[in-house]
Amino acid sequence: MRSNTRNLFSMLAGVLASALFAIATVHAAELRESTPSYPQDSSNNIIRSGTGDCAHTGSWTSADATVVGCDGVTQRGDRSWRNA
């Protein structure tokens, strides 16, 4: 009985790990497509400056400031930055 429980636990852990990996992969692909004005590294993380500011591509405009954590955008969509 104990062996069956361990096998079931191992199988469930494998399924959970696979599902989390699939979700993370899809999210990374969606993030890359939805943030074309922010350069990303090979892990699909938005590149940040040494001070933590998000880097922008040459085509970035203030209308592209939609990424939470960049350019003052918060989870609610508020922006604390000002147009110059």
Per-residue pLDDT of the chain (84 residues; tens, 9 = 90+): 667 777 777 777 777 666 555 555 555 544 555 678 899 888 888 999 999 999 999 989 988 888 888 998 887 755 555 544
- Cβ–Cβ < 8 Å for 81, 65: yes
Please indicate, yes or no, if residue 26 is contained in any of the structural domains. Answer: yes
Q: Which residues face 40 on adjacent strands?
A: 46
- Overall domain count for the chain: 1
Per the domain annotation, does 69 fall within a domain?
A: no
> Would you state the pLDDT for residue 48?
93
* pLDDT number for residue 51: 92
Query: Does some domain include residue 83?
Result: no
Report which DSSP code applies to 68: T
Q: Reduced to 3 states, what is the DSSP secondary structure of residue 36?
A: coil
The model carries a pTM of 0.49
Q: Domain range holding 16?
A: 2-58
